[in-house]
Amino acid sequence: MTALTLTNVNKSFGNVHVLKDITLEVEEGEFVVFVGPSGCGKSTLLRVIAGLEDASSGEINIGGQQVNLVPPSKRGIAMVFQSYALYPHLNVRGNMTLALKQEKQPKAVIEERVANASRMLNLEDYLDRYPSELSGGQRQRVAIGRAIVREPKLFLFDEPLSNLDAALRMNTRIEIANLHRALDASMIYVTHDQTEAMTLADKIVVLRDGRVEQTGTPMELYNNPANQFVAGFLGSPSMNFLPEGLLGSGQNTIGIRPEDLYLSDDGPLAARVSHVEKLGGDTNVIAKIHDHAVTARLFGQHAISEGQELRFAYAADKAYRFDAAGQRLR
């Protein structure tokens, strides 16, 4: 059974057409990440699924039931917000139990679910604290706990990690992945961070300007991008794009990933180094080929300095070709 089906969903705010004909399926137990630059409509799409915004047209099915006219609380969803959105006047326990009390669940059920969730998230010691007494990471866990206790058919995460610092973000990312394994629940996760998308997703949906650009597993999208946008958006550092004319003749664009460039004395690409990032394990070389900046990711440590002349080569099967409109040429 599918957890979520969107059929030709459109959303307009006045004259602004934000979501354009979105059709999408989320399988039971799948972790789907919506990714795209800011303003691409990914958060709006999540809010439409949650029922916080009405779709202008199209059909939304959650767990086989059409929910276009169902209020958010009855859709069988739970949402984790970017700003946590904890109730400031309730303690952690109160925050987690509020929805269950609204549903008139029996006390024993509430107790049990809160106990389970707080054990899973290591929140047992904080149940009587108020949100203002918690750190950012703890607040985030409470927000997740508030979603877990509802045992929803579908979890919605709206950029849940963007307020955390880098170290905590990585830990929480792993926690969310573990949580997904433990709960075996369907989850939709919105982010603009391609690393989060690549590491968490079973399936990535790349959005741009309110349209689905491509859907697939992280490796499908990475190895086989449908167009220049997807190719440039996924992968870090992002893919290099060079005009074909630079390497011979033609009007198309060639895309080469930084890790596919290697040093070679008789390579076809002559470049002057403009900056070197030494990361220890990797060395990122930013170099200029005529006026085009390229990034090469070299494994290990290299004694390369600014201003140096280098030659790069690449395997022919690692080069992607895109036409002037950005579509992939195969």
Partner 1 sequence: MNKARQNPLNTAAMHGALILYTLIALFPVFVILINSFKSRRAIFREPLALPNTDSFSMIGYETVMKQGDFFLYFQNSMIVTVASLFFILLFGAMAAYALSEYQFKGNLLMGLYLALGIMIPIRIGTVAILEMMVATGLVNTLWALILVYTAQGLPLAVFILSEFMRQVSDDLKNAGRIDGLSEYTIFFRLVLPLVRPAMATVAVFNMIPIWNDLWFPLILAPAEETKTLTLGSQVFIGQFVTDWNAVLSALSMAILPVLVLYVIFSRQLIRGITSGAVK
Binding site for partner 1 (CB under 8 A): 47, 50, 52, 71-74, 77-79, 81-89, 98-99, 102-103, 130-134, 136, 139, 146, 158, 163
Shortest separation between residue 151's beta carbon and partner 1, angstroms: 14
Token pair for residue 72? Answer: 């958010």
Q: Which is nearer to partner 1, 162 or 284 (CB)?
A: 162
Q: Which is nearer to partner 1, 99 or 276 (CB)?
A: 99
| Phi and psi, residue 147, nearest 5° | -75, -40
Shortest separation between residue 66's beta carbon and partner 1, angstroms: 19
Cα separation, 10 vs 48, whole angstroms:
10
Q: Which is nearer to partner 1, 89 or 330 (CB)?
A: 89
Q: Which is nearer to partner 1, 131 or 210 (CB)?
A: 131
Q: How many CA atoms lie within 13 A of 166 on its CB side?
A: 1
Q: Which is nearer to partner 1, 33 or 156 (CB)?
A: 156
- Cα distances from 191 to residues 37, 38, 169, 232, in angstroms, run 9, 9, 13, 16
Cα separation, 36 vs 211, whole angstroms:
10
List the 65-66 sheet strands across, edge first.
16-27, 2-13, 57-62, 65-66
Instruction: Bin 227: left if φ > 0, else alpha if -120 < ψ < 50, else beta.
Output: beta
Q: Which is nearer to partner 1, 83 or 236 (CB)?
A: 83
Q: Which is nearer to partner 1, 18 or 86 (CB)?
A: 86
Q: Which is nearer to partner 1, 78 or 298 (CB)?
A: 78
CB 60 within 8 A of CB 71: no
Shortest separation between residue 159's beta carbon and partner 1, angstroms: 11
Shortest separation between residue 25's beta carbon and partner 1, angstroms: 23
Name the nearest CA neighbour of 289 among 259, 312, 263. 312
Cα separation, 59 vs 293, whole angstroms:
45
Q: How many CA atoms lie within 13 A of 62 on its CB side?
A: 25
Shortest separation between residue 242's beta carbon and partner 1, angstroms: 42
Shortest separation between residue 52's beta carbon and partner 1, angstroms: 5
Cα separation, 246 vs 254, whole angstroms:
10
Shortest separation between residue 21's beta carbon and partner 1, angstroms: 24
CB 19 within 8 A of CB 44: yes
Shortest separation between residue 64's beta carbon and partner 1, angstroms: 20
Q: Which is nearer to partner 1, 15 or 102 (CB)?
A: 102
What burial letters (b/e) apply to 296-309, b meaning 16+ CB within 10 Å? bbbeeeeebeeeee
Shortest separation between residue 129's beta carbon and partner 1, angstroms: 10
Residue 112: CB atoms within 10 A of its CB come to: 12
Residue 232: CB atoms within 10 A of its CB come to: 16
